[in-house]
Amino acid sequence: MCPSSASSAPSAVQCRSAEPTGRGPLVGVPLLGVSVPLWSIFFGNDRRAGRRRASRDEEPALADGLHIVSDMTEFGRRSFASAALALWLAGLSACAAAPVQRPAPSAAPPSSREVEVIDTALNARIRDEGFNRSRVVETATTLSDVLGPRLAGSPGYREAAEWARRELASYGLANAALEPWGARCGRGWVVDGYSVELTEPRYARIVASPRAWSPPTAGVVRGRPVVLELRDSADLDRHRGELRGAIVLAGPAAPRDTAHQRWRFQPPARRRTPAELDSMARLADPGAPRDYWEDAGGYTGRVRARLRFAARLREAGVAALLEPSRNEYGVQVSSYQAYDTDVSGAVPAFVVARPDYDRLVRLAERGGPMTVELSLRAHYLPASDSTGYNVVAELPGSDPALRDEVVMLGGHFDSWNPGTGATDNAAGVAAAMEAVRILAAVGARPRRTVRVALWDGEEHEDYFGSLGYVRRHFGDPETMRLLPEHARLSAYFNLDDGTGRIRGVQLQGNAAARPILAAFLAPFADLGAATVSIANSGSTDHVPFRGVGLPAFNFIQDPIDYESRTHHTSLDVASALLEEDLRQAAVVLASVVYHTANRAERMPRTELPKPRGH
């Protein structure tokens, strides 16, 4: 363990001499660390700088405001890459005259002056395999077009997980398996068919998607909708006389003034700018979430409160609920969050594309003839089918002294139902699978075991798959009772920010890891992947690892149109994938994981969290 302060600045790293390994030149990369106040314009109140959500934050009970896309200029990649590559090459030349060697294992924590050994020959083979014989887009497309959506607990999730296990085994990985993480209280849910139609005054098929885990309707529901903004129990009591048998439109139409329509004047896709990346690298305070409970502590309770409100709507006699999409381009999912909860007593509900929703509201408020017909055919799976599974596989370590230690990589495998889960998160899953495929294909022999894990149930009431895995293997964030495997994990690397290329890594406050990861990323400055930020980030599967004090990192990625168009929407399909970006992400991930597994020491750690309530 190597406790560190989030505000400490890394020292310059010096080269060391050593013996060659027969696999090509190994070089030590000199680095300089800086620590200056945050330039915060790009961060706002989001838990991730530019991240698509402050997930685990409270979702409104029925409706939300408009989504505004940030105004960013296009990424000037050539100028940034040229400057970063020049700095890297200068570092290489400073070490060119020194003989090279792999540091011997040591029980002592790594010093801030320890050299990081880069296997340039292996990096060249990784690039060759990853760019010239890539299978990453094929993998992501199969997961989305053929096997998606992968709603947690559904037959579709299980079929996709079995496919991923077979695929990982075909790469030559060991111990490919569906590993149970535990049992859930909710039931699996399957959609058999649905329809929402305007039949009067003119026929129109309404673009909509059922809320995940929504109960089915009792046949066709037909009637004139009522527009009601039901935000809390007081609203429900005030309108109780209007609810029996009603189709409820949950809230008003979107305002049409320019102030509320600014998203129409913004480009939907962007790359990170050099200024934005520079501000992230200069960040001095990691920010929120500072621990597991700050990220996830109140989330489950808020979900339960929303579900209780939904049950009260059913008790009041509401026949069906129509909500507006919170994304202006597509149908953005809203869910009953029932992976661990029984919601069979809730109201059948749909999320409606914003233009169609606004038209229905205007017609309802205008008066005159109007009829909506809708139906939802869906069923729940037996309660006995409650076991949840992660997908895992390994590239075994080659060093007898270190092979029991592990470096992990992965991302969440489940997705939502309106789209096919391409950018969230078939992209991250495919990049992780491709990274281990590349390592196997090039004959890499990491000293530690490399384990890929594809997580179940990330999108729901808790981090079910990753948290269940952490509890079974490493320890419990609540009690901080640790297991023997806790001492043997070097690091976990997470990818879950869409189809964009990797631009760097967030340290999650682990300042001692800065020079290490900066050295591992330096050879990929020409690909734009050189930023190292002290920042914390939340709302995805590295959080449970951090919750028990393990080194866990989330990659910085180009947003593309993840936040604005695809995240949790009907537009999250394979057509949104960017081939060049996915190839780059897999190459960078493969190299970072390999070099982490080959270090003389495990990745440094921050101070252990205290048990909850202490």
CATH of the domain at 319: 3.50.30.30
The answer to whether the CB of 40 falls within 8 A of the CB of 287 is: no
Q: Is residue 496 a part of any domain in this protein?
A: no
Query: Is residue 596 situated within a structural domain?
Result: no
Q: What is the pLDDT of residue 463?
A: 92
User: Is 157 inside a domain boundary?
Assistant: no
Strand, coil or helix: 251: coil
Within a domain: 522:
no
Q: What is the pLDDT of residue 30?
A: 38
Total domain count for the chain?
Answer: 1
107 alpha carbon, distance to own chain's centre: 34
Tokens of 256: 């049409």
The pLDDT assigned to 99 comes to: 36
Q: Looking at residue 11, what is its pLDDT?
A: 33
Read off the amino acid at residue 84: A
- DSSP per-residue codes, 373-421: EEEEEEEEPPTT--EEEEEEEEE--S-TTTTTSEEEEEEE----SSS--
558: left (phi over 0), alpha (psi -120 to 50) or beta: beta
| Residues of the chain under the 70 pLDDT cut | 1-114
Instruction: Specify if 393 maps to a domain.
Output: no
Cα separation of 93 and 30, whole Å?
A: 10
DSSP 43: T
What are the start-end ranges of the E strands in 289-370? 320-324, 349-352
Number of Cβ atoms within 10 Å of the Cβ of 612: 15
CB-based contacts of 234: which residues, under 8 Å, 6+ apart?
Answer: none
Host domain of residue 251: 189-280+294-380
What's the rounded Cα separation, in Å, for the pair 176 and 452? 9
Residue 384 is predicted with a pLDDT of 75
pTM of the model: 0.83
Contacts of residue 384, defined as CB under 8 A and 6 or more positions apart, other chains included, come to: none
Q: What is the C-alpha radius of gyration for the chain, rounded to an integer number of angstroms?
A: 25
In 47-69, which positions are buried (b, 16+ CB within 10 angstroms) versus exposed (e)? bbbbbbbbbbeebebbbeebbeb
SS3 155: helix
- How far does Cα 8 stand from its chain's mean position? 28
CA distance 603 to 4: 12
pLDDT of residue 338: 77
| Residues 6+ positions from 275 with CB-CB distance below 8 Å | none
**Looking at the domain assignment, is residue 211 inside a domain?**
yes
pLDDT in tens, 394-413: 999 999 999 999 999 999 99
Distance CA 611, CA 548 (A): 9
Question: What's phi and psi for 353, nearest 5 deg?
Answer: -55, 140
374 domain-assigned = yes
Neighbours of 257 (CB within 10 A): 8
pLDDT of residue 558: 98
User: What is the rounded CA–CA span in Å between residue 220 and residue 500?
Assistant: 42
d(CA 161, CA 165): 6
Rounded CA-CA distance 99/102 in Å is: 11
Residue 113 is predicted with a pLDDT of 56
Contact predicate 24/121, CB 8 Å = yes
Q: Is residue 548 part of a domain?
A: no
